[in-house]
């Protein structure tokens, strides 16, 4: 049984190494949702994620013999970096098993701390099976990313930091993958003030813990698929479900589109680089998945190790969705001056061309026609309507994509 005292002791172990991360007001969300909303920015942690807390606490509690033998973990990335950092700090060998599709930024981050990386399996659970087998065969200490009391206690130090700054916090919203983060936070928060509401947030493509919470028994997912790779956990651990059933008030889910919106919002409005798993609590607030009106609320921003390719895709889609980018396929006559006439229309509408492609070979085209695929910078929905009207008035056939 994990106690408040365990979490307080963990905080002491972390005090000289792990950051007490910022707790910042979110003024735009607060105004929109008629609540006092704060963001706990653990994406600014040493390794870019809260996971360093639990990993460091666990390694700090090992005796010298076990440390000398080395430590092993399975992780989608953030626990891996946390454990690699802790192993380097305590001068012990670390071997990390990661899913083959793990973003390069997370693999590189683990290697930068001197750990050995083994890429195997399609998801966390397959990497986990390989890691536990390796640890057993080589007499090494396996450190679970969430189903471990010392790890859970380390994650719970986030709640202590929140309550040190805001004693009267009423509601804490937490991402859920395996459940270690929300378990530690919930135990600490509820032990100090049983009236604090704890809401968990899962990704729609990895909703095993939500289904289990509602059924009150472990229900593993057949598969997981989400941009929030840090919480893409397929199987539910009974021990953690028991803690969550006792301490957590509700679990909600957000879609990948909602998560992407939150990533873009946090980047643009708060200048925070946040990965999918780190953005789901904010996404739940933005998309009205939780009732928070007139409450004092804290959303956990749990990690910032996002792959730059994914970030680029999210930004691009976000610009289209917010009417700041317009993608068109326009059909025009394939003759001299035709393209110049089209671009004059965009010039008249004050739309900046950022990308253009000319295709005269498509089998969908009639002879003498061409397709122009064009991307425009635009200034909102009304601006895009103006462009569409001008194209129609000039007789162009077009499709917005």
Q: What is the pLDDT of residues 364-392, one digit of tens each?
A: 888 889 999 999 999 999 999 999 999 99
Last residue of a domain, one of 142, 163, 180: 142
Last residue of a domain, one of 315, 337, 359: 315
How many whole angstroms separate alpha carbon 46 and alpha carbon 15?
A: 13
At residue 75, the pLDDT reads 87
Looking at the structure, tell me whether residues 274 and 167 fall in a common domain.
yes
Spell out the alpha helix ranges (H) of 222-287: 238-247, 256-270, 276-286
Across 11-30, average pLDDT: 96
Q: What is the pLDDT of residues 144-198, one digit of tens each?
A: 999 999 999 999 999 999 999 999 999 999 999 999 999 999 999 999 999 999 9
pLDDT above 80: residue 105: no
Looking at the structure, tell me whether residues 259 and 158 fall in a common domain.
yes
Expressed as residue numbers, the domain containing 102 is 52-142
Looking at the structure, tell me whether residues 157 and 9 fall in a common domain.
yes
Half-sphere exposure for 26 (CA within 13 Å, toward CB): 31
The residue count of the chain comes to 401
Looking at the structure, tell me whether residues 244 and 196 fall in a common domain.
yes
Q: Is residue 265 within 8 Å of 282, Cβ to Cβ?
A: yes
Give all strands (DSSP E) within 67-149, no chain letters: 71-74, 94-98, 116-119, 141-142
Q: What is the pLDDT of residues 187-239, one digit of tens each?
A: 999 999 999 999 999 999 999 999 999 999 999 988 889 999 889 888 899 99
Looking at the structure, tell me whether residues 189 and 94 fall in a common domain.
no
Confidence of residue 363 (pLDDT cuts 50, 70, 90): confident
What CATH number has the domain bearing residue 392?
3.30.70.260
Looking at the structure, tell me whether residues 38 and 156 fall in a common domain.
yes
How far lies 102's CA from each of 59, 86, 99, 108, in Å? 24, 21, 6, 10
Looking at the structure, tell me whether residues 30 and 113 fall in a common domain.
no
Looking at the structure, tell me whether residues 152 and 233 fall in a common domain.
yes
Helix, strand, coil percentages in the chain from 3-state DSSP, rounded to 5: 45, 20, 35
Looking at the structure, tell me whether residues 239 and 283 fall in a common domain.
yes
What CATH number has the domain bearing residue 26?
3.40.50.1100
Q: Which residues pair with 25 in a beta bridge?
A: 38
How many domains does one find in the chain? 3
Q: What is the pLDDT of residues 24-43, one digit of tens each?
A: 999 999 999 999 999 999 99
Last residue of a domain, one of 99, 123, 142: 142
Looking at the structure, tell me whether residues 191 and 264 fall in a common domain.
yes
Looking at the structure, tell me whether residues 61 and 116 fall in a common domain.
yes
Looking at the structure, tell me whether residues 212 and 327 fall in a common domain.
no
CA neighbor of 232 nearest in space, from 74, 85, 58, 47: 74
């Amino acid at each position: 049984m994990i106690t408040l005292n365990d979490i307080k002791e963990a905080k002491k172990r972390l005090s000289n190494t792990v950051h007490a991360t910022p707790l910042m007001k979110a003024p735009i969300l607060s105004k929109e949702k008629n609540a006092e909303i704060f963001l706990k920015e653990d994406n600014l942690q040493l390794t870019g994620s809260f996971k360093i807390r639990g990993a460091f606490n666990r390694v700090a509690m090992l005796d010298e013999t076990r440390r000398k033998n080395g430590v092993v973990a399975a992780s989608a990335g953030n626990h891996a970096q946390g454990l690699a950092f802790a192993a380097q700090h305590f001068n012990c060998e670390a071997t990390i098993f990661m899913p083959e599709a793990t973003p390069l930024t997370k693999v590189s981050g683990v290697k930068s701390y001197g750990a050995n990386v083994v890429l195997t399996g399609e998801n966390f659970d397959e990497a986990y099976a390989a890691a536990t087998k390796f640890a057993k065969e080589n007499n090494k200490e396996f450190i679970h990313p969430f189903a471990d009391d010392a790890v859970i206690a380390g994650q719970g130090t986030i709640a202590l930091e929140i309550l040190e700054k805001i004693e009267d916090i009423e509601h804490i919203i937490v991402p859920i993958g395996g459940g270690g983060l929300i378990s530690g936070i919930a135990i600490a928060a509820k032990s100090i003030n049983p009236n604090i509401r704890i809401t968990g947030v899962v990704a729609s493509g990895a909703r095993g813990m939500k289904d289990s919470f509602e059924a009150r028994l472990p229900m593993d997912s057949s598969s997981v698929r989400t941009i929030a790779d840090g919480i893409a956990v397929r199987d539910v651990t009974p021990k953690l479900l028991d803690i969550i059933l006792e301490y957590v008030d509700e679990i909600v889910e957000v879609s990948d589109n909602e998560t992407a919106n939150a990533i873009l919002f946090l980047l643009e409005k708060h200048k925070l680089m946040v990965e999918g798993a780190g953005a789901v609590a904010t996404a739940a607030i933005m998309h009205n998945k939780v009732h928070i009106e007139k409450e004092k609320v804290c959303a956990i921003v749990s990690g910032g190790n996002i792959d730059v390719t994914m970030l680029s895709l999210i930004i691009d889609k976000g610009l289209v969705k917010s009417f700041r980018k317009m993608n068109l396929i326009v059909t025009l006559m394939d003759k001299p001056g035709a393209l110049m006439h089209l671009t004059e229309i965009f010039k008249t509408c004050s739309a900046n061309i950022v990308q253009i492609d000319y295709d005269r070979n498509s089998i969908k085209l009639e002879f003498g026609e061409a397709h122009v695929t064009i991307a425009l910078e635009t200034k909102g929905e009304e601006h895009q309507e103006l462009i569409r009207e001008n194209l129609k008035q000039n007789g162009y056939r077009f499709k917005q994509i």
